[in-house]
């Protein structure tokens, strides 16, 4: 499913979420209006490194970031493996891969929307430096 947010469109794999698409869309709209900081959705986490990284990303609080290296240390793997797993996240925004950044403060990559530009806007929004339209 394609979900509009921040002037771009993020693809979310609806088969990875137990709830119907209408519920997912409504929760994304609530997030965009600043009414939701975490998603209340049942996400299927793969039994692989990607699933381990996805689970770790769900623990990153709204408005905060972690580095690829910090997640790698937590999971006893390499930062590049964390980055690759972030790129395979089938449910960006819902599982907040946008909250994972480089150790130098660089944004790295982002598989959703317009790539790094969308990641930057999501981080700025969560940190309160920008406001979104309520018409997402």
Dist. CA 63–CA 123, nearest whole Å: 7
Dist. CA 110–CA 126, nearest whole Å: 16
Phi, psi of 64 (to 5 degrees): -115, 165
Nearest to 4 by CA among 126, 113, 117: 113
Residues found in the chain: 136
Catalytic residue among 6, 82, 97, 100: 97
97 is catalytic: yes
What positions carry a catalytic annotation? 97
């Amino acid at each position: 499913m394609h979900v509009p947010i921040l002037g771009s469109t993020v693809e979310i794999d609806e088969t990875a979420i137990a709830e119907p698409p209408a519920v997912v869309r409504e929760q994304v709209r609530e997030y965009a209006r600043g009414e939701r900081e975490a998603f209340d959705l049942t996400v299927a986490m793969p039994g692989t490194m990607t699933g381990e990284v996805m689970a770790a990303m769900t623990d990153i609080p709204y408005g905060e970031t972690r580095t690829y290296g910090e997640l790698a240390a937590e999971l006893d793997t390499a930062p590049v493996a964390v980055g690759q797993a972030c790129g395979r996240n089938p449910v960006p925004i819902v599982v907040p891969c946008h909250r994972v950044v480089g150790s130098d403060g660089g944004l790295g990559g982002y598989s959703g929307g317009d790539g790094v530009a969308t990641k930057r806007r999501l981080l700025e929004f969560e940190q309160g430096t920008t406001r979104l339209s309520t018409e997402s």
